[in-house]
Amino acid sequence: MAGTAVLGRLTWQVGEVTGTRTETPRTRSLIVDLPHWPGHRAGQHVDIRLTAEDGYQAVRSYSIASPPEDSQVEVTVERLDDGEVSPYLVDEAQPGDQLEFRGPVGGYFVWDVSRGGPLFLVAGGSGIVPLMSMIRHRQARHSDIPLTLLYSVRAPQDVIYRAELDRLAPDGVTIAYTFTREQPEDWTGFARRIDRDLLREAAPPLNTRPLVYVCGPTPFVETAAGLLVELGYDAGRIYTERFGATGRER
């Protein structure tokens, strides 16, 4: 699989933006046609390179949101005010624009239906993106593998893919939101940062031995994964991906 190759063996290719979709005030999805795309696994990411008129280049990594079954690649980007790449992708890129891609990259934080489940997905902010690829892959394969998503965001307007996630509820998917700063009126769900009691209530039962995927900012991931191990979940079945001041923008 191309995504398991070392980075140096991957080559850049030019893709064309065929569509965009605003997800939240700060996030936007780009659908890109890549003629030489080798295919990917749910959970992998790509590198995107922008080149300025003076030759300066900036490269950032973004998780793939589309399932492996799609012929085009979708990335969802959150604007970072001091970012070199994300402001262009969120605010300026339009259908017909060309972007340089390299990938897919990553072979650890991946899932496909052949691995089974049940699945427990834990997302912090834009950490939902690679998990959404997994969710969409499950849907595309018409799988009945039990899936639980715990999604932590600051406020309701920050929920990425909200309409799509809401449609999944009757299809064997359990979704729990926790709003850490601002809650909807009459909200009765979680309203705090992830802690031991919240995970104990939201996670699938221990005896089901779920496969766990946690993605978000580094402190969020370390807290969630550590607490799950303390609660008795199998550390060998917990997969993490984190982002922060590492050259990654999501």
Q: 134-192: per-residue pLDDT in tens?
A: 999 999 999 999 999 999 999 999 999 999 998 887 678 999 999 999 999 999 999 99
Whether 197 is in a domain gets the answer yes
Domain count, the chain: 2
Q: What is the pLDDT of residues 98-109, one digit of tens each?
A: 999 999 999 999
- How, if at all, do strands 147-153 and 173-179 pair? parallel
Whether 211 is in a domain gets the answer yes
CA–CA separation, 82 vs 117, rounded Å? 39
CA–CA separation, 186 vs 70, rounded Å? 38
**Neighbouring C-alpha atoms within 13 Å toward the C-beta of 152:** 23
With bands split at pLDDT 50, 70 and 90, how would you rate the model's confidence at 9? Answer: low
Whether 149 is in a domain gets the answer yes
Show which of 64, 87, 105 is a domain's final residue. 105
Instruction: Say yes or no to pLDDT of 2 above 70.
Output: no
Q: Which residues pair with 119 in a beta bridge?
A: 147, 211
Torsion of CA 197, 198, 200, 205, to 10 degrees: 170
CA–CA separation, 50 vs 58, rounded Å? 5
Q: What is the pLDDT of residues 13-62, one digit of tens each?
A: 999 999 999 999 999 999 999 999 999 999 999 999 999 888 899 999 99
134, 165 contact by CB (below 8 A)? no
Q: What is the pLDDT of residues 135-151, one digit of tens each?
A: 999 999 999 999 999 99
CA–CA separation, 201 vs 150, rounded Å? 11
The verdict on 122 and 53 lying in the same domain is no
The verdict on 234 and 119 lying in the same domain is yes
Average pLDDT over residues 66-93: 95
Whether 249 is in a domain gets the answer no
The verdict on 237 and 122 lying in the same domain is yes
Instruction: Say yes or no to pLDDT of 244 above 70.
Output: no
The verdict on 89 and 208 lying in the same domain is no
The verdict on 97 and 144 lying in the same domain is no
User: What percent of the chain clears pLDDT 70, i.e. is strictly above it?
Assistant: 93
Q: Which residues of 173-198 are buried (b: 16+ CB within 10 A; e: fewer)?
A: bebbbbbbeebeeeeeebeeebeeeb
The verdict on 45 and 91 lying in the same domain is yes
Instruction: Say yes or no to pLDDT of 249 above 50.
Output: no
CA–CA separation, 79 vs 129, rounded Å? 14
The verdict on 49 and 97 lying in the same domain is yes
Q: Quick one: pLDDT at residue 76?
A: 97
Locate tokens 């490269």: which residue? 59
Average pLDDT over residues 102-126: 96
The verdict on 6 and 50 lying in the same domain is yes
Average pLDDT over residues 195-205: 96
CA–CA separation, 10 vs 48, rounded Å? 13
CATH number at residue 94: 2.40.30.10
Q: How far apart are the first and last CA of the chain?
A: 24
Q: Quick one: pLDDT at residue 168?
A: 84
The verdict on 230 and 178 lying in the same domain is yes
Instruction: Say yes or no to pLDDT of 127 above 70.
Output: yes
Instruction: Say yes or no to pLDDT of 3 above 80.
Output: no
The verdict on 120 and 234 lying in the same domain is yes
Task: Specify the DSSP element, H or E, that contains 100.
Answer: strand 98-105
64, 114 contact by CB (below 8 A)? no
Q: Quick one: pLDDT at residue 67?
A: 98
CA–CA separation, 175 vs 226, rounded Å? 21
Whether 219 is in a domain gets the answer yes
For residues 3 and 11, which has the higher predicted lDDT (pLDDT)?
Answer: 11
The verdict on 120 and 156 lying in the same domain is yes
CATH number at residue 200: 3.40.50.80
The residue count of the chain comes to 250
Whether 134 is in a domain gets the answer yes
Q: Quick one: pLDDT at residue 219?
A: 95
Range(s) of the domain holding residue 157 = 113-243
The verdict on 89 and 205 lying in the same domain is no
Show which of 70, 105, 140 is a domain's final residue. 105
Instruction: Say yes or no to pLDDT of 8 above 60.
Output: no
Mean pLDDT of the chain: 92
Whether 225 is in a domain gets the answer yes
How many beta carbons lie within 10 A of that of residue 46, not counting itself?
25
Show which of 74, 105, 136 is a domain's final residue. 105
Whether 24 is in a domain gets the answer yes
